[in-house]
Amino acid sequence: MASQERLGAVSKGTKFRHCPQRTTYTSGTCELLRVMMKESKLTNSQQRYIMDTMKRDLEKEKRRLQNIFATGKEPEDRPKKGPTRQEKPAPEPDRFEELVKEIQERKEFLDTMEALGQGRQYRGIILAEISQKLREMETIDHKRSEVLRKTLSTT
The model's pLDDT over 56-92, given as tens digits with 9 standing for 90+, comes to 777 888 888 888 888 888 777 665 665 666 667 667 7
The pLDDT of residue 12 is 52
**Over residues 102-112, mean pLDDT:** 93
Q: Rounded to whole angstroms, how far apart are CA atoms 114 and 55?
A: 62
Q: How far apart are CA 118 and CA 125, in angstroms?
A: 12
At residue 19, the pLDDT reads 52
Separation of alpha carbons 123 and 113, rounded Å: 9
Residue with the larger pLDDT of the pair 82 and 125: 125
Distance CA 152, CA 91 (A): 25
pTM comes to 0.41
Q: Where are the alpha helices (DSSP H) in 41-94?
A: 44-71
Q: How many whole angstroms separate alpha carbon 102 and alpha carbon 77? A: 49
